[in-house]
Structure 1
Amino acid sequence: MNIKIFLLLSLLAISGITAVGQQEATALTFSISVNDEMKASFNPDGRLLIYLSKTEKPEPRYSSVFDGKAFIFGKNFHNWKPNEIKEISGDNDWIKTSEWDFNSVPQGTYYVQALWVQNRDAESRSNTPGNLYTTAVEINTNKTQLVKLSFSETIPERKLEDHELVEYFEMESPVLTDWWNKSMHLKASVLLPSGYKNNPDKKYPVRYNVAGYGGRYTRINSLIKNEEFMSWWTSEDAPQIITVFLDGEGPFGDCYQLDSENSGPYGEALTKELIPQIEKQYRIEGTAKSRFVDGCSTGGWVSLALQLIYPETFNGCWSYSPDPVSFAKMQLVNVYQNENAFYNDRGYLRPSMRDIYGEPRFSIKQEITAENVEGYSNTYVTSGGQWGAWNALYSPKGKDGLPVPIFDPVTGAVNKEAAEHWEKYDLLKHTASNWPELGPKLQGKINIWMGDMDNFYLNNAMRDFDEYMKNTTNPKSDAQIEFTPMKGHCSNYSHKKVLTEIQQKLDEME
């Protein structure tokens, strides 16, 4: 070794400073209690999530783990008595997003917060009503220390904005209740047109809006708070169309509004229960000619899938930036041919998100690692996240009663048997195999927009779908599929634009 380097390293060691590329680490222990006001609502069984973030805002429980500034640890606990103070040390059985554990936390300033996920029967995700959380505590890991946290806050129930044009809808679903053997409810919010209450004998066309991933019926609130939209909506220029905002909640994340071996008959519940009931209650015309569906991202995929699978139920879909419509290009994964979802054939990590200039933001492996922490099974299968929901919809039910994972949660190895089951939900395969019967029912009904630099690589699958539709015969498809250069995910989506185009179609039908 060069004598100068040797002397430098010796001095560093004597002074307690680490060499370049290394970082001193500290052990953390936790003492977690339940605030007196929370004890009555505290469920002794749940999943504890501990967040460490290098930034104060947003709260650690909302921080992104994909920028290297926030980390999540997850572990199930049972029989945690409300009066018990849980002492936690750095054992190795935590599922985590970091490469280090509580025994070796890199030195620095962190904001620490805990979340108690105790309400899984009601909702599938972590930051949802009924779950408890602590306030964030600032620490500096310059020494071994005990971090004291107390569950003092409850995530509140959702509520809609108070507005004369807003209605809340809820019904028990007989078919889902029977399937799950417990009471299951469907929820939605309704945006009425400005003339609704002054025309008690008039019947209206309807637009069913499907949210982006995990979107809830409360997303109507953002429109009500949008002064520009509401000024237009309450003007004489706005279409007289009722919008129903469907709820995305399901047992394993977003239900995707379709029948599933794992989540149950959500497609049947929508088409045979919710739609008939809501159209009766709100003076909707109740015919397929006056019924439309739209959405972006997950909502883009669901709206297109509903139009393809129930072609005679809807008279048109407006699908923006839909999730992968072909699983041969499930983002950058070919689930039918690739051996591994995390790494491509050259051994490179597959990105899951990019900016519109192609710069990767995070990988599929990072995404799954985070979902593994959230999942009560210690895997993404029960995370309530994006991959968990895709997997619940497309995969068969396993012997353990949970969805069969499409790929290994740690290694990324693809399960070929599960992939075969996914074919049923491959929209390109479905369309191609049923075109002689399906094609005539879709004429004039398919409207799709896609940014050609979609942030989640969704344009790849849509290019294949577009190519197929352009080459159809008997009949020749008239699907309107638009690609816009250098546009990203959902960047052209507009409620006003969709409503205006639906009205144009209604005018053409007269």
Structure 2
Amino acid sequence: SKEPRFQISDGPNTQLIFGVDINGLKPGDAAFFDESVFGYPVPRISEIPPGTYTIQAFLNRYETFHRADGHIVKLPMDKGEGQRWVQKPGNFFSTPQDVKIDPQKDKKITIVLDQEIPPIPDPPETKYIKHIKIQSQLLTEFWGRPMFLGAHILLPEGFDTHPEARYPLVINHGHFPYTFGGFREIPPDPDLEPTYSDRFDWPGYNKTVQEHAYKFYQEWTGPDFPRFLIIQIQHANPYYDDSYAVNSVNVGPYGDAITYELIPYIEKIS
């Protein structure tokens, strides 16, 4: 079964979660969870039904930013995971353990943060998919530390054999895909176990995704398909998995950074 950290959501099927804010926790220090701690969907520890549970501790680490607007804020910096806290490199978690819980009995349970999420490897490149990353001067000045923008680039058929050609550029805004999504260079997996999508009410949705992604590859590389570049922008920030590509008083000048730094860089190298 999945670790508890992968079973937490904001929906009705979530498992129990309780959280506390801590500051300056050092190795060997302890954080305490008692009746004062708020939880979801069960609000208090005393309301947990008695039974045996698999429990796990998790620490979502925040960093301090000294912004150019004078504000000092503590936020969980994106580490290449798209603001998914359960996958953020550098976060600590404990090995899951089974314990018997009875809120009516005074019992102390000790959990040790003995694991750390490793760095996320760079996504692989292919003949058609490339990845870039640049430091943004505008965002670096705003956030008071080096800040970066990236993009996944889908190259047209013949790009490598026509270096003198210039192509139109299509910008596709999404959230935070690990690599260029919806493009598959190999046929769908015939042994893929179909899964149901709650979001789309679609049986076998994962198989449909593979089928359409491979169909797109076949069309993209076909002799009659228009030749152009598509980019998916990577603009996760300390708040969200993307910036909506606009300037923001609180998130920073992402609109300008994308328009005047990232896109000109892509145009220059392609």
TM-score by length of 1: 0.40
Distance apart, 1:162 and its partner CA: 3.2
Aligned to 2:251: 263
> Does structure 2 conserve the Cα–Cα contact (< 8 Å) formed by 1:65 and 1:71?
no
Q: Do residues 131 (structure 1) and 101 (structure 2) align?
A: no
Aligned to 1:218: 178
> Does structure 1 conserve the Cα–Cα contact (< 8 Å) formed by 2:56 and 2:111?
no
Aligned to 1:141: 101
Aligned to 1:152: 115
Aligned partner (choices 104, 111, 129) of residue 54 of structure 2? 111
Aligned to 2:45: 102
In 2 relative to 1, CA 160–239 (structure 1 residues): closer, same or farther, beyond 3 Å? Answer: farther
Within-5 A mapping of 1:12-91: 56-57=1-2, 59-82=4-27, 84=28, 86=30, 88-91=32-35
State the distance in 1 between where 2:220 and 2:53 align: 46
- The higher-RCO structure (CA 8 Å, 6+ apart) is 2
State the distance in 2 between where 1:134 and 1:222 align: 35
Distance apart, 1:66 and its partner CA: 1.9
Percent sequence identity is 27
Q: Deviations over 1:447-504 (max 9, x none)?
A: xxxxxxxxxxxxxxxxxxxxxxxxxxxxxxxxxxxxxxxxxxxxxxxxxxxxxxxxxx
Distance apart, 1:277 and its partner CA: 1.4
Q: Which runs of 5+ in 2 are unaligned?
A: 63-74, 188-213
State the distance in 1 between where 2:225 and 2:11 align: 41
Within-5 A mapping of 1:351-430: none
Aligned partner (choices 231, 235, 246) of residue 233 of structure 2? 246
Distance apart, 1:210 and its partner CA: 0.8
> Does structure 1 conserve the Cα–Cα contact (< 8 Å) formed by 2:237 and 2:251?
yes
Aligned to 1:385: none
State the distance in 2 between where 1:220 and 1:238 align: 19
Q: Do residues 233 (structure 1) and 242 (structure 2) align?
A: no
State the distance in 2 between where 1:78 and 1:204 align: 51
Aligned-pair Cα RMSD in Å: 2.7
> Does structure 1 conserve the Cα–Cα contact (< 8 Å) formed by 2:132 and 2:152?
yes
Q: Which runs of 5+ in 1 are unaligned?
A: 1-55, 283-510
The DSSP-based 3-state class of the residue aligned with 1:110 is: strand
In 2 relative to 1, CA 67–121 (structure 1 residues): closer, same or farther, beyond 3 Å? Answer: closer
> Does structure 1 conserve the Cα–Cα contact (< 8 Å) formed by 2:5 and 2:58?
no
Aligned to 1:166: 129
> Does structure 2 conserve the Cα–Cα contact (< 8 Å) formed by 1:208 and 1:244?
yes
Distance apart, 1:171 and its partner CA: 1.3
Q: Deviations over 1:66-92 (max 9, x none)?
A: 22541222222223222x052624141
Q: Deviations over 1:70-128 (max 9, x none)?
A: 1222222223222x052624141x34323432344222343322221125453155232
In 2 relative to 1, CA 85–174 (structure 1 residues): closer, same or farther, beyond 3 Å? Answer: closer
> Does structure 1 conserve the Cα–Cα contact (< 8 Å) formed by 2:169 and 2:230?
yes
Within-5 A mapping of 1:163-312: 163-211=126-174, 215-220=175-180, 223-224=183-184, 227=187, 228=214, 229-253=216-240, 254-282=242-270
In 2 relative to 1, CA 133–58 (structure 1 residues): closer, same or farther, beyond 3 Å? Answer: closer
Distance apart, 1:65 and its partner CA: 4.0
Q: Do residues 122 (structure 1) and 109 (structure 2) align?
A: no
In 2 relative to 1, CA 87–264 (structure 1 residues): closer, same or farther, beyond 3 Å? Answer: closer
The DSSP-based 3-state class of the residue aligned with 1:164 is: coil
State the distance in 2 between where 1:237 and 1:134 align: 54
The one-letter amino acid paired with 1:192 is L
State the distance in 1 between where 2:52 and 2:222 align: 52
Q: Deviations over 1:107-163 (max 9, x none)?
A: 234332222112545315523232222233233425745253433131432521231
In 2 relative to 1, CA 272–64 (structure 1 residues): closer, same or farther, beyond 3 Å? Answer: same
The DSSP-based 3-state class of the residue aligned with 1:220 is: coil
Distance apart, 1:260 and its partner CA: 0.8
The one-letter amino acid paired with 1:80 is L
Distance apart, 1:270 and its partner CA: 1.3
The runs of 4+ residues in structure 1 deviating greater than 6 Å are none
Distance apart, 1:232 and its partner CA: 3.5
State the distance in 1 between where 2:169 and 2:91 align: 35
Distance apart, 1:231 and its partner CA: 3.6
The DSSP-based 3-state class of the residue aligned with 1:245 is: strand
In 2 relative to 1, CA 69–272 (structure 1 residues): closer, same or farther, beyond 3 Å? Answer: closer
In 2 relative to 1, CA 266–62 (structure 1 residues): closer, same or farther, beyond 3 Å? Answer: farther
User: Between Structure 1 and Structure 2, which shows a larger proportion of helix residues?
Assistant: 1
The DSSP-based 3-state class of the residue aligned with 1:271 is: helix
The DSSP-based 3-state class of the residue aligned with 1:278 is: helix
The one-letter amino acid paired with 2:92 is L
